[in-house]
């Protein structure tokens, strides 16, 4: 089975956490899950490399590793906006030109922008640096209100933890929702988060424990067949208006959009793992009919359920290389 090569380009001082976002998703060995990527790390100057928290890491590969990468990840860049060397810029441009996917976690977006790969395109970075990125690169359409932006060939994420959201999204694009969900489950994370990064930019007063939506959401995911927004409100013991306010505050979305997202997620897993007809899947996830499911699915994913099943169904050839060509701007991973 062909395993795409993911190469992380690190730079001193390197944030260990931002590197770990990519390493954990693409490179961790899991006993119960087959590896579908080859992961390695490189730097412009191989050898000891400083980190942001005081210890030194050893990097054994130089920029030549990018020549064979299918995906290049830049896991942050310190200080934000610091110029990358001409050798780094040329290596990134060359990798992109031959078809590699270029991915920035957090402040790594500044390096991609320096390479000219974000000109005329939407991008994001940590909320503290969005204004700096927009000022330094006016040709880039900086979006401060998303967790990540994916153009297929180039992708950027918001700060630190949003790098995990982006990496899991890329795995979904490459290998389907079920495989990505297994990785997230191993990491004890949700397959994707709701909302935008701006919900983290300030410190609102913490909600009381009894106001948390978590128990409601856990219950709702097992009730997709017949659940309505009204049923959600009734289960929560509050009015529909109050429920909508709580969803906006805690998840950054409406109850209806959240419910549709869960139904489409369940649809993807059933398309991948079963041979159920589209009409039967529609009934199972609460989308009423095959016509409605197909319409919703195409509007959300830009493809048909049949095409998705041919690409990600469990009977697909294992030698298939991931396309990585989605064009998504998501507020959640």
* CATH number for 9: 3.40.50.880
Q: Is residue 162 part of a domain?
A: yes
Q: Looking at the structure, do residues 123 and 181 belong to the same domain, yes or no?
A: yes
**Residue 329's pLDDT is what?**
41
* CATH (domain of 221): 1.10.10.60
Q: Is residue 330 part of a domain?
A: no
Q: Which domain holds residue 240?
A: 203-317
**Residue 134's pLDDT is what?**
95
Q: Looking at the structure, do residues 54 and 175 belong to the same domain, yes or no?
A: yes
Q: What total of structural domains would you count in the chain?
A: 2
**Residue 200's pLDDT is what?**
43
**Residue 100's pLDDT is what?**
97
Q: Is residue 101 part of a domain?
A: yes
Q: Looking at the structure, do residues 111 and 219 belong to the same domain, yes or no?
A: no
Q: Looking at the structure, do residues 269 and 142 belong to the same domain, yes or no?
A: no
**Residue 191's pLDDT is what?**
62
Q: Looking at the structure, do residues 80 and 120 belong to the same domain, yes or no?
A: yes
Q: Looking at the structure, do residues 139 and 215 belong to the same domain, yes or no?
A: no
Q: Looking at the structure, do residues 102 and 235 belong to the same domain, yes or no?
A: no
**Residue 211's pLDDT is what?**
57
**Residue 218's pLDDT is what?**
85
Q: Looking at the structure, do residues 158 and 247 belong to the same domain, yes or no?
A: no
pTM above 0.85, yes or no: no
Q: Which residue numbers in the chain have pLDDT < 50?
A: 195-210, 317-333
Q: Looking at the structure, do residues 151 and 49 belong to the same domain, yes or no?
A: yes
Q: Is residue 191 part of a domain?
A: no
Q: Looking at the structure, do residues 9 and 117 belong to the same domain, yes or no?
A: yes
Mean pLDDT for all residues in the chain = 87
The per-residue pLDDT for range 216-237, each reduced to its tens digit, is 988 998 899 999 999 999 999 9
**Residue 194's pLDDT is what?**
52
Q: Is residue 332 part of a domain?
A: no
Q: Is residue 139 part of a domain?
A: yes
Q: Is residue 111 part of a domain?
A: yes
- Which string of b and e fits 207-229 if b means at least 16 CB within 10 Å? eeeeeebeebbeebeeebeebeb
255-273 and 177-186 helices cross at what angle (nearest 10)? 110
Q: Looking at the structure, do residues 162 and 263 belong to the same domain, yes or no?
A: no
Q: Looking at the structure, do residues 136 and 208 belong to the same domain, yes or no?
A: no
Q: Is residue 195 part of a domain?
A: no
Final residue in a domain of this structure, among 186, 214, 230: 186
């Amino acid at each position: 089975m062909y395993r795409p090569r993911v190469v992380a380009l690190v730079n001193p001082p390197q944030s260990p956490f931002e590197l770990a976002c990519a390493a954990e998703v693409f490179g961790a060995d899991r006993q119960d899950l087959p590896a579908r990527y080859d992961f390695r790390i490189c730097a412009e100057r191989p050898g000891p490399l400083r980190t942001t928290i005081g210890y030194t890491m050893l990097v054994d590969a130089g920029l030549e590793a990018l020549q064979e990468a299918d995906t290049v990840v830049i896991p942050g860049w310190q200080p934000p906006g610091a110029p990358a060397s001409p050798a780094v810029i040329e290596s990134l441009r060359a990798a992109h030109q031959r078809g590699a996917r270029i991915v920035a976690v957090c402040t790594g977006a500044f390096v991609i922008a320096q390479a000219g790969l974000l000109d005329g395109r939407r991008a994001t970075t940590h909320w503290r640096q969005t204004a700096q990125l927009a000022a330094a690169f006016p040709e880039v359409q900086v979006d401060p209100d998303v967790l990540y932006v994916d153009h297929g060939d180039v992708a950027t994420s918001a700060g630190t933890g949003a790098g995990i959201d982006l990496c899991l999204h890329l795995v979904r694009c490459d290998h389907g929702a079920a495989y990505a969900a297994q990785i997230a489950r191993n990491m004890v994370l949700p397959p994707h988060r709701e909302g935008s990064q701006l919900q983290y930019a300030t410190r609102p007063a913490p909600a009381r424990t009894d106001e948390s939506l978590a128990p409601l959401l856990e219950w709702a995911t097992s009730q997709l067949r017949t659940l309505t927004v009204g049923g959600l409100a009734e289960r929560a013991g509050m009015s529909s208006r109050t429920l909508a306010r709580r969803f906006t505050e805690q998840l950054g979305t409406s109850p209806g959009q959240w419910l549709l997202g869960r139904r489409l997620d369940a649809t993807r897993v059933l398309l991948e793992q079963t041979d159920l007809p589209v009409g039967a899947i529609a009934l199972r996830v609460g989308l009423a009919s095959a016509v409605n499911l197909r319409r919703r699915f195409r509007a959300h994913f830009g493809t048909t359920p049949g095409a998705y099943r041919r690409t990600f169904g469990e009977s697909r050839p294992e030698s298939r290389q991931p396309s990585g060509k989605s064009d998504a701007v998501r507020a959640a991973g």
